[in-house]
Structure formats: C-alpha cells, structure tokens
Chain A
Amino acid sequence: MGYKITRVFVDNHVKKKAIVKDFIEKSKPRKIIFTDQAHVKEGLKTYPFDDGKRSVFLSQSKGRYFKTCPGMEKPYICCNLGVLNIISNCPMSCSYCFLQFYLNSPVTTVHTDFSRVTSELKVTSKAHPEIFFRVTTGELSDSLALDRETGFSARLIEIFKDIPNAILELKTKTSFVNHLLRLNHGGRTVISWSLNPQRVIDKEEKGTASLEKRITTASKAQEAGYLLGFHFDPLIHYPQWEKDYEETVKLLFEKVSPFRIAWISLGSLRFAPGMEEEIKRAHPSSKLPYGEMVVASCGKKRYVKPIRLRLYQKMIDWIKKYGGQDVLVYLCMETPEAWEKTMSFKPESTAHLDFVFAESLHQRFEYLFTKKPLLNDYLKGMEYKGLE
C-alpha cells in the first residue's frame, strides 16, 4: 500500500542530502519545487486540503524532534509517551484527525535530519537509565504511511534494538509492514494499529486499510516476533456501536494472541475548539460533529460523561471477555474519575501511569529491562519531561 505523491517541495537548505534524492526517486512526483520554508508555509495557506495531502515538503527543523506527547493538564492523566516528530501530517484523510487543524500547513513535512533525531533519542535515554521510554513516530503522522519513500521505520527499528531502556511504537492504519517483517528488531518494537469497526472506517477513515486487513497484517507482524499494540481511539458513539465494537474486539482476538499485545488504549472522540466546524466543512457527510458532546474542563468537546464511561466500560468488558484478564488497557486523556469508574483503579499522576506501563511490561516481557522499574524513579523522573 502506498500513497501517490504528486508534488514535492524541497527546502533549499536540504536539497543536497542523499535522503532527499532517495525520496524523490522513490516517490516519482509530477512536480518538484525547490523553495524556502517561509514560502511554503505562507504559500500553501489557501491550498485545498486534499491537494496538500498529496504534497510533501522535505525540510529540517530547528526545534527538538524527541519530545513527550503534549498530552493534557490536570485533572487529565496522560501516559507520558515519548514522540519522535520526524514526519508531520499524513496522507490519509480521517475526518476526526486533529492534525488537519493542529498543524498550520496542509502538506506533509518530512524532516530529513535523521541523524539528529537518533542522537537526541540516544542522549536522552542514556541520561535516564532508570526510566523505560516508550517512543512513537505516530503522534503527528502515521508511522508507516510514507515508509516506502523514507525508510525511517526500518532504520529506527535497528537503532531501538540496541537501546536497553526503550521501546519503539510504530502506530499505523495501513497494512504496509512487509518491509519490516524480516528485520532483526530484538523484540523492542511494538507495531500498533488504530482500530474501529468497518462501518466507521468506511465513513470516517478515508484512505486507510480495512479492519480485516489491519488485523490480518497485525497477525503477520506477530508471527514475525513483533509486539503489538491497538488503539481504539477515537471510540465513536452511534446507534449500532455496541454490536460493531464487540464484533471488532472479537475479530481481533480471533486473529491475534493476547500474550503478545503490549497495550491497548481507549479514547473517546474529542474535538479541540473550532475543530467540529472544520469537520463540517471539510467532511460534510460526517456525522461526528453532531454527537452528544459538551465542552469538558480541558476546553475540548467530548461526549457527555455517561456516554464516555459506557463506551469505556463496554470495551473493557469485551477485551477481557475475548482477550483475557492480562491485557494492559489504558485510557487516553481521561480523568482519574473515569479510570476509577471503569477500571476500579486510578493512576495518581502521569508519572504514576508511566510507571504502571513499565511495571506491566516488566512482568510480561522481562527481557526488555535491565532492572526492575521503581515507582520513585518515575516520580522523580518527571524532570525528564523537560525534553524541550
């Protein structure tokens, strides 16, 4: 599976890099435009969104690439995932995606200074040997959507194999994993899929792989020894949601062993201010902006609490029913109250949840660790949040 790139903008500062030449050779765009950053950012403001989806800007950033997920402030609890922002934006077109509103450019930006990305990662993980880092490239993009052109994932898998206190998570909605199956990953890469019932995929996740394909591909990755992750995020509330989501969970565990699942996340649909109006415009057939939502204390619009809790509770029940009791399930960007009401447990803080992850992974996949994780290290280690 690949995405046709029609236009490549190249930042004049990086035009001589081998990675740029390589990207252009593999993507074979109709048009290559050499330009500067400011021009691209300004010139593309009035670009039609879909046109931007087929355009890539090869550039470099002055800021850091390795950060922690911006998450949310108290009372919401986040999982403290590390993010490598090496690609920003994505060629797929999910109606609910925050990227189309969060990023100020309609084109997908691929950062070409890979060596800086890896050095930031190595320096930070070495400076905090007591912390176990979960790191993804799938925060501001789909980790695998442009892998054919960039080859980034294979290179990262190779790097993570030798970092003793980190694990890589490649988040995707594609079925593009064949190029990764024969790699020596050392069990330090989780390939994870965002899952939704096929009915939701058809309506809201344009340009992505089908549910069947995602799960079949996950099973292939599992056979190749990779750990797996799944993200039921965003959970969508609609008339047939219970039947559809239960079938989805059932299908997942028919094809995939729960013992190789590193984690499953649950998150309900949420909109940043103004985003629902943009969805109405950019995706007029989508029903998502008309859900029963209120502005929560985080300032985002979310389903009303009784609906959110019911979505989570049902999903947890089905995951336990079909996948057993030992799968690590977590809530993404939720309140301690939501945790307590649905899981009978609540992390005290983001650092605590980070530790819960490490502890659970240590219990199930001890080979990933050189020492047993300690809660105090994580509570102190919040300072490493200052990755900025």
Chain B
Amino acid sequence: MKFDLKKISLKEINLDDDYFRFSDHRFDRKELLDSLDRHGVLFPPAVVPNETSFRILTGFRRISGAKEIGLEKIPVYILNNDIRVEEAFSFSIEENKTTRTLNLFEKATALWRMEESGLSEDKIINTFMPLMGLQSSPRIKEDVSALLNLPENLVDFILFKNLAPKNFRHLKGISPPSLGFFENFVRTILPSASDFIEVTKGLSDLSRKHDQEVKELARSLGIEAALALKEGKKERLEKIKKLIAAQKFPTLTKINQNLEKKVKNLESPPSLKISWDQTLERSEVTIELDIREEKEFDRCLEALKRPKFKKTLKEILKNL
C-alpha cells in the first residue's frame, strides 16, 4: 500500500463523511485537546483523496479536535484513491490498534460499517473479527452487533463493566420502552455486573416465556413498584431478585417457602441452623450448630430431642 505524508489544510478534509468511522464519543476529549494544543497532531491521521476533498480513513477524533482548537493545517497520510474497501478497513483497524484498544461498541460499529460497505459475511467473520480481537463466529458477530441497538446508558454500563457479549445478548429484540425500564433499573440501583445479568436476563426470559413485554411484566409482577420503594438500593435489589426467582421457579419457591415455614414453627434456638439444597436436587438436610457457650449446646440438644423436631425433619426430607 502506497501513501505520502503531507501537511494539508483542514478545509480540504470532508468532516461529514463518516464512511469509515467507528470511533465513539466515550473517551477523554479534554486530554486529546490538551495534547493537540501542546504538541499538535503527533500521529497523523490517514485520508483518501476523492474528486473534491479528502475522505477520512483514520483519526476522526484527532481531526475534529484539531479543528476545534483552531489548527489550520495538519499532517496526514494520503493513501491512493484506488485503495480497496477491504484494505482500507484493515488499515484503519491496524492504525487504531497502535494507539489504543477499540471498545466493544466501536467494534460493533466497525462490523456494521463493513457490512454496509458490502464486505462478505465470510470476510468480516474470518478476517476482520480476529483482527479486532474477536472470535471468528457468526454468533459473536450477532451478539456484539446487538450493542448498536441499545440505549446509550445501557451501552455505557456494559462497557464500564466490561461485559462479555454472551452476557448482554438477551437484550436483543427487546422493545425500546422495555429497554427504558432496564435503563431506569441501572440508573436507580447501580447494580454489579452479576446482578445486572441476573435481573435483565431473568426478566427477558420471563418476557419471552409469557409473550409479554418486559415493561408490562415488571409492572404486573411488582418489580417496577419495588424499584420505586424508598428503601436502600440493596434491599430493593434483593426484592426484585426474589420476585423474578418466584416467577422463574414457582414450584421450588412454593416448596421452599413451605419448608421454611415448618422450620420457623420449630422455634429452635438461633444457634441451631437447618438448611437444605434449595434446588431440591440433593435429598439431604444440613443441621449446623454454632456454639459459643455450653448453655447454647444444651439448648440445641434439647431442641433436637423434641419429637416435633424429628417429625418436621421427616416432612422436610419427604419434600426433597
């Protein structure tokens, strides 16, 4: 590939032509502007000449920053105008890699741009996805591309938490009002990555199971109300998770609640804990004694000896 390094006027560059653009706005603009102000353009962008102006191939942010701080001329690499689309994308990705790592949203944009430019699916998957550090797979392509249809706040969250594509693929095909509910959830609760996945995936699955919108479901299940409670974030999150689990596992929830009630009725001392596998897969009950003084041990022993205890234990085991 041939190219010349020249200084050209910013007026000659078509800033509206974003054919090759996939950089997004989530970056520290101030840092870039300061650097441009202090040193000028250290890494020349790449452009391709067309009939009347230059099309930007790489360096969209550098060029717009240069314009913003009032530079008139900047150094650029000028590539031949007979460069093939495939070469241009390849150059653009490689050039970006030398200065920073593309985020997932930028990768999604790049995939979309490639598709729009008519590159074959095979080429995109087998050549460009590995070039961007993505696994060559139609599935991954589909998952990553889903980011483009998500509202900005959710994209910010996903990038901030560095979620893998498989952890947000369930948001594909969800209507904008329902995505709005998830945005509200993220804004209000500021969940951890695993809580975000549990809640959004749980609700998405239930929505598909019942052919009902996430937003409607959140309302009818009382999740929307739980989100608006005046309690702390942690308490609200726990309530929401419980409401989802009760819908997802109605049989288990009912049986476990019933067993918990039986255990509560035993009125055992607090140092005696009875537990079981809540999935009910393992047919065993665990009895733990948390003893700090001798008296507690006597109290536990007394509780264990009661006929009511044995009867309840039998009942629990029958359900497991």
Contacts and interface: CB of A to CB of B under 8 A. Distances in A.
B205 A46 contact: no
Contacts of A280: 208
Given A277-B166, A290-B205, A297-B281, A304 B252 contact: yes
A304 B280 contact: yes
A296 B281 contact: yes
A20 B206 CA distance: 49
A297 B142 CA distance: 32
A211 B142 CA distance: 36
B209 A287 contact: yes
A51 interface: no
Q: Is the interface of B mostly helix, strand, loop or mixed?
A: helix
A134 B19 CA distance: 64
A207 B300 CA distance: 62
B252 A281 contact: no
A304 B279 contact: yes
A305 B280 contact: yes
Nearest to A305: B280
B177 interface: no
Contacts of B279: 294-295, 304
Nearest to A47: B138
B32 to A, nearest CB: 39
Contacts of A289: 205
B280 A306 contact: yes
Chain B CB within 10 Å, residue with most, of A46, A297, A305 = A305
Contact of A292 (B139, B208, B249): B249
Interface in A31-62: 46
Interface in A187-237: none
B125 interface: yes
Nearest to A294: B279
A183 interface: no
Contacts of B169: 277
A328 to B, nearest CB: 27
B254 to A, nearest CB: 9
Interface in A279-314: 280-281, 287, 289-290, 292, 294-297, 304-307
B109 to A, nearest CB: 22
A120 interface: no
B122 A292 contact: no
Interface in B251-298: 251-252, 255, 279-283
Contacts of B125: 46
Nearest to B138: A46
Nearest to A297: B281
A292 B281 contact: no
Given A46-B122, A296-B281, A304 B208 contact: no
Contact of B255 (A295, A296, A306, A337): A306
B118 to A, nearest CB: 18
A61 to B, nearest CB: 27
Contacts of A306: 251-252, 255, 280, 319
A297 B208 CA distance: 27
Nearest to B137: A46
A307 B281 contact: no
Contacts of B166: 277
Contact of B250 (A290, A292, A296): A292
A296 B125 CA distance: 35
A289 B209 CA distance: 9
A292 B320 CA distance: 16
Contacts of A46: 121-122, 125-126, 138
Nearest to A306: B251
Contacts of B252: 292, 294, 304, 306
Contacts of B67: none
Contacts of A296: 281
Contacts of B250: 292
Contacts of A304: 249, 251-252, 279-281
Contacts of A295: 279
Contacts of B255: 306
Interface string A314-338: 0000000000000000000000010
Given A46-B125, A277-B166, A294 B281 contact: yes
B73 interface: no
Interface string B303-320: 000000000000000011
Nearest to B249: A292
Nearest to B247: A292
A297 B283 CA distance: 12
A281 B142 CA distance: 10
A201 to B, nearest CB: 20
B248 interface: yes
Interface in B105-160: 121-122, 125-126, 138-139, 142
B202 to A, nearest CB: 10
A337 B205 contact: no
A337 B251 contact: no
B18 to A, nearest CB: 29
A281 B281 CA distance: 28
Contacts of A337: 283
Interface in B161-212: 166, 169, 205-206, 208-209
A111 B295 CA distance: 74
Interface in A246-297: 277, 280-281, 287, 289-290, 292, 294-297
Contacts of A307: 251
Contacts of B282: 297
Given A295-B279, A304-B281, 14 more contacts: A46-B125, A46-B126, A277-B169, A289-B205, A290-B205, A294-B249, A297-B282, A304-B251, A304-B252, A304-B279, A304-B280, A305-B280, A306-B251, A306-B252
6 contacts: A281-B139, A289-B205, A292-B250, A304-B279, A305-B280, A306-B255
| In the complex, the 6 A-B pairs of residues with the closest C-beta atoms, listed nearest first | A290-B209, A294-B279, A305-B280, A290-B205, A304-B252, A306-B251
Interface of B: 121-122, 125-126, 138-139, 142, 166, 169, 205-206, 208-209, 248-252, 255, 279-283, 319-320
